[in-house]
Amino acid sequence: MKKLLGILLFLVYCISVNAQENINENRGTIKVHKKGHLAKIQFDNVNYRLIGIDQYGNILDTAVVEFKMSMSVKGMFYSENIVGPVLSYQMQQLLGKCGQTTKIFFDKIKAKDSNGTLVDMPKFQYTFGYSYENNE
| Three-class DSSP category at 124 | strand
**What's the structural domain count of the chain?**
1
- Of 69, 44, 86, 83, the residue nearest 123 (C-alpha): 69
pLDDT grade for 106, boundaries at 50, 70 and 90: very high
SS3 of 11, please?
Answer: helix
- Is residue 121 a part of any domain in this protein? yes
121 vs 11: which has the higher pLDDT = 121
CB 41 within 8 A of CB 109: yes
Distance between CA atoms of residues 123 and 114, nearest Å: 20
Look at residue 59 and tell me if it is in a domain: yes
pLDDT tens per residue, range 73-82: 888 888 999 9
Residue 62, in any domain of the structure: yes
8 domain residue, yes or no? no
In a domain, 125, yes or no: yes
Q: What is the pLDDT of residues 40-84, one digit of tens each?
A: 899 888 888 999 888 888 888 878 999 999 988 888 888 999 999
> Would you say residue 116 lies in a domain?
yes
Range of the structural domain that residue 112 is part of: 38-129
pTM given for the model: 0.65
